Every structure is written in C-alpha cells, then in structure tokens.
C-alpha cells in the first residue's frame, strides 16, 4: 500500500515552458503553469503535462508559492512505495561507498540532500545511528511512514532511531503545524557523533538545522592541516566545528566567537569531549561585526568567517552581497600580513563568481593584497544534481592576506 495518495489533479504547463522539465530540472515555477485540472492541496502529488498534453512526470504541489511543483519523477508512472524505497536505497549506497558512516572515525553524514538525491524537500542527516529528518514540503512530510520503512531497510542494524525535526520548516513552506519528535526508536538526550575522529555533541532538539553543520566537514579538515602552532579566530563559531579541528591539529590558541551563549557552551563541551586543553580555547560572546571592528584581529594567524545565509532568495541577493562585503572588509582591514582568511557563503542566491568578486572588492577597498589559495565547496554527501545547478550553495575561499 502506498502512503502518498495519487491525486487526480493535473498541472499543465504553458507552451515552451517545459524545456527545463525535459532537461530534468526539478522546479516548476508558478508563472509557467497554464492551468490546473482538479483542486490540489498543499503537498498533493500531481501529474505534470506539457501544453499539448504529454505527461512529463509527477511532483508535489505547493499553492501560492513561487515554486508550484517540485518534481519527483520524469515519466508517466507515479511514484509508489517501490520507487521511494529505491530512491532511499540509492542515496544510502552513495554514502556507504564513500565510507561516511560505518567506521570508528566517521559515523556522521548527510544521507539525503533534497534535489541532490532526487528528493526535493527532504533532508536526512545521520549522527551515530540517529537519523534526523527535516521535511521542507508538506508532500514530503506526508511520506514519512514510507520513508521510515525505507531507511530502516537500507540502514539495517546501524540505525537506532529516527527523529522528525520538520515543524519550523513546514510552517515556512505552507505546511500544517506539527510537533518535532521520534517517529521510530529513540536515543538518550545526550548523543555524540564522530567526524574524522573528532567528537561532537549533537542536539537535534534545540540546535540549528538538524543539530550540526555537516557540510563543512572537508573544509574543517583543511583548516586542521594549516593550524599547527597558529592562533585561530573562529567567527560565527556555533558549536565549534572549526575550533575543534584547529585545536586537535595543534593550534597554539583558538578563540570561538558567537552571539549565542548556548552555542558557546556546547562548543566548550566539545572541547572537553575531545580531551583538548581548555587553556588553549576561549569563548567570546559578541556581535561578529562589532568584534571585527576592534584592533584584536592582528593577533590571529587564521580567521574563519562562516556566517549564516544572508540571502534565502534572489530578491535578497544585493543585501547579502553587501553583508558579505562588510564583514570581509572588516576582517581584511584588521588582519596581519601573512595571515589566512577562510571565508564562506552558504547563500544559494549568491554564486561563486559573485562571492569571489565581493571578496575582491573588499580587498581593494581595504588596500590589501590577497592570493586565493583554495576554492571550497560542499562535500560529496551534499551532492549537486547535474540538472539542478542551484544545489551548489556552499562556496568558500582561503586567501592569504598581505600588505
């Protein structure tokens, strides 16, 4: 039996508005819809047809949204239970082949990355046997019973529990109010996961997103290779991912800066979890921009700027670029010659070229020479669907700052 009811509704596209769907791009914008047959509600599975009636595929419907349909399949057959099980099995196989969650030194990774795995609206992160699911669309949330069975089959004994953390994301995307909670199994309130041998306390209940930011794993590892004997400032530190890697690699001193006292407390807990010297670590509760205005930046050999997304949509792009320029300008003005800046943007609306140009503009205004040493992106468990380049959201630079 299928848990997602196939609606009788059909979404027909305007003439010449089906090219992107034929190229398997998963988004149908409301402006491309010619008419709708039936009365689909938020989250209903709808058939998508070309202007002349040819079936293009099936997707989840979202009324009153700029993205009217998020495509699931691109053929005449509607997704059934076997389709869902196959999609989950493929996603898990990709991570298993990368050895990302079944070794002593690595048991945390993203198992499903929305469009990157052909499942728009679904995020699933695995933390040492606990799977935290975040549904961004009502249609995906309705499918949780089927997804639960599919994940249990694909993961087997290494799965201990499944936690649904979709309440806030559903409300933002037209879904009904719901409570977060366990949908299968459970776990102690305190739970640790291992990333490349580094221990992290994971709080899926109160933490941001699913409890941790797995997308910076490879970039944290790179920071570690450059941190021995250095003094590091981790701005927007959250629970200290970059800080732990730097300390464990032999950094002389690491300062973690965040506006959240609770995040800093978890950061300090992570320092203790990894058996690191608390004398080498300092938490700083402050506004990032205000702190960057101070004269202290010249003390650091490496500065990490990993701010939250400044632009959730294209309409906020200009303001986001100005925000990135502002914080990077402050950093570049204060950093000493020969120091390194790790700087990031996780705003999907700001692409690589825009971000690089923003850093260049900040360097010109600061009067500093900068050399780009590394271009950074999201790791392979956050794959980019070749037909959906918008999925490449994380971009970063490592630059050397000189006079």
Angle (nearest 5°) at CA 114 between 90 and 201: 90
Residue where one domain finishes, among candidates 28, 48, 73: 73
Both 319 and 348 in one domain: the answer is yes
**48 and 93 housed in the same domain:** no
Residue 112 structural domain: 81-195
User: Is 67 found in the same domain as 86?
Assistant: no
What pTM value is reported for the model? 0.94
201 within some domain: no
Q: Mark whether 189 and 322 lie in a shared domain.
A: no
Return the CATH number at 177. Answer: 3.30.750.80
Q: Whole-number mean pLDDT of the chain?
A: 94
CA proximity to 323, closest of 355, 363, 369: 355
Q: Are residues 280 and 375 in the same domain?
A: yes
**225-235 pLDDT tens trace:** 999 999 999 99
Task: Give percent above pLDDT 70 in the chain.
Answer: 97
Whether residue 248 sits in one domain with residue 369:
yes
Query: Which pLDDT does position 5 carry in this prediction?
Result: 46
Q: Is residue 202 domain-resident? A: no
Does 135 participate in catalysis according to the annotation?
Answer: no
Q: What single-letter DSSP state applies at residue 166?
A: -
Final residue of a domain: which of 53, 73, 93?
73
The region, left, alpha or beta by phi > 0 then psi within -120 to 50, assigned to residue 114 is left
206 within some domain = no
For residue 37, what are the CA distances in angstroms to 7, 20, 52, 162, 169?
Answer: 11, 22, 14, 37, 28
- Please indicate, yes or no, whether residues 66 and 89 belong to a single structural domain of this protein: no
Residue 22, in any domain of the structure: yes
Q: Which residues contact 237 (CB under 8 A, 6 or more apart)?
A: 243, 256, 257, 258, 263, 264, 267, 304, 306
Residue 354 maps to which CATH number? 3.40.50.150
Q: How confident is the model at residue 397 (pLDDT cuts 50, 70, 90)?
A: very high
pLDDT of residue 399: 98
Higher pLDDT, 332 or 319: 332
Nearest to 164 by CA among 115, 130, 139: 130
Is position 334 within any domain? Answer: yes
pLDDT in tens, 130-173: 999 999 999 999 999 999 999 999 999 999 999 999 999 998 87
Q: What is the β-pairing status of strands 302-305 and 339-345?
A: parallel
The answer to whether residues 119 and 21 belong to one domain is no
Same domain, 37 and 170: no
Q: How confident is the model at residue 2 (pLDDT cuts 50, 70, 90)?
A: very low
Into how many domains does the chain fold? 3
Residues 342 and 300 in one domain: yes
Distance of alpha carbon 4 from alpha carbon 45, whole angstroms: 7
End position of a domain, from candidates 26, 57, 73 = 73
Is the pLDDT assigned to residue 368 strictly greater than 80?
yes
Sorting pLDDT into bands at 50, 70 and 90, what band is 312? low
308 & 270 share domain: yes
Domain assignment of residue 145, yes or no: yes
Specify the CATH number for the domain of residue 57: 2.30.130.10
Three-state DSSP class for residue 192: strand
CB atoms within 10 A of CB 298: 11
Cβ(251)–Cβ(276) under 8 Å? no
| Confidence band, pLDDT 50/70/90 cuts, at residue 319 | confident
Q: Which phi and psi (to 5°) does residue 109 adopt?
A: -165, 170
Asked if residues 148 and 81 have their Cβ atoms less than 8 Å apart, the reply is no
In a domain, 200, yes or no: no
**DSSP notation for 282-298:** EEEES-HHHHHTSGGGG
Residue 298 inside a domain? The answer is: yes
Yes or no: say if 17 and 52 are a contact pair by the CB < 8 Å rule.
no
pLDDT beyond 50 at 385:
yes
Q: Are residues 265 and 339 in the same domain?
A: yes
């Amino acid at each position: 039996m299928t848990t997602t009811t196939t609606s009788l509704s059909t979404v027909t596209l305007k003439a010449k508005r089906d090219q992107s769907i034929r190229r398997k791009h998963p988004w149908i914008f409301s402006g491309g819809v010619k008419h709708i047959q039936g009365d689909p509600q938020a989250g209903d599975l709808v058939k998508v047809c070309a202007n002349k009636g040819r079936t293009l595929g099936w997707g989840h419907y979202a009324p009153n949204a700029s993205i009217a349909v998020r495509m699931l399949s691109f053929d005449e057959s509607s997704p059934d239970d076997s389709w869902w099980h196959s999609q989950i099995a493929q996603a898990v196989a990709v991570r298993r082949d990368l050895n990302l969650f079944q070794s002593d030194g690595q048991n945390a990774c993203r198992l499903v990355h929305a469009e990157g795995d052909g499942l728009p609206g679904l995020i699933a992160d695995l933390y040492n046997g606990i799977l935290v699911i975040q549904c961004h669309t009502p249609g995906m949330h309705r499918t949780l019973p089927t997804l639960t069975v599919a994940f249990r089959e694909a993961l087997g004994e290494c799965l201990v529990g499944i936690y649904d953390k979709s309440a806030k994301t559903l409300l933002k995307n037209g879904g009904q109010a719901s409570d977060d909670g366990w949908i299968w199994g459970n776990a102690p309130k305190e739970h640790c996961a291992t990333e490349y041998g580094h221990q992290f306390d994971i709080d899926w209940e109160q933490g941001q997103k699913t409890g941790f930011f797995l997308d910076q794993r490879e970039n944290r590892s790179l920071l570690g290779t450059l941190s021995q004997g250095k003094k590091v400032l981790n701005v927007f530190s959250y629970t200290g991912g970059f800080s732990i890697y730097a300390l464990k690699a032999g950094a002389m001193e690491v300062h973690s800066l965040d506006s959240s006292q609770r995040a800093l407390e978890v950061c300090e807990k992570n320092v203790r979890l990894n058996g690191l010297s608390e004398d080498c670590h300092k938490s700083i509760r402050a506004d990032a921009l205000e702190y960057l205005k101070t004269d202290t930046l010249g003390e650091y050999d490496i500065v990490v700027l990993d701010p939250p997304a400044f632009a959730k949509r294209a309409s906020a792009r200009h303001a986001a670029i100005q925000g990135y320029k502002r914080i990077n300008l402050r950093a570049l003005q204060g950093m000493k010659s020969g120091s390194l800046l790790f700087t990031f943007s996780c705003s999907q609306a700001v692409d690589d070229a825009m971000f690089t140009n923003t850093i260049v503009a900040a360097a010109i205004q600061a009067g500093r020479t900068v050399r780009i040493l590394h271009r950074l992106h999201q790791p392979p468990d956050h794959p980019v669907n070749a037909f959906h380049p918008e999925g490449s959201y994380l971009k970063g630079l490592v630059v050397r700052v000189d006079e």
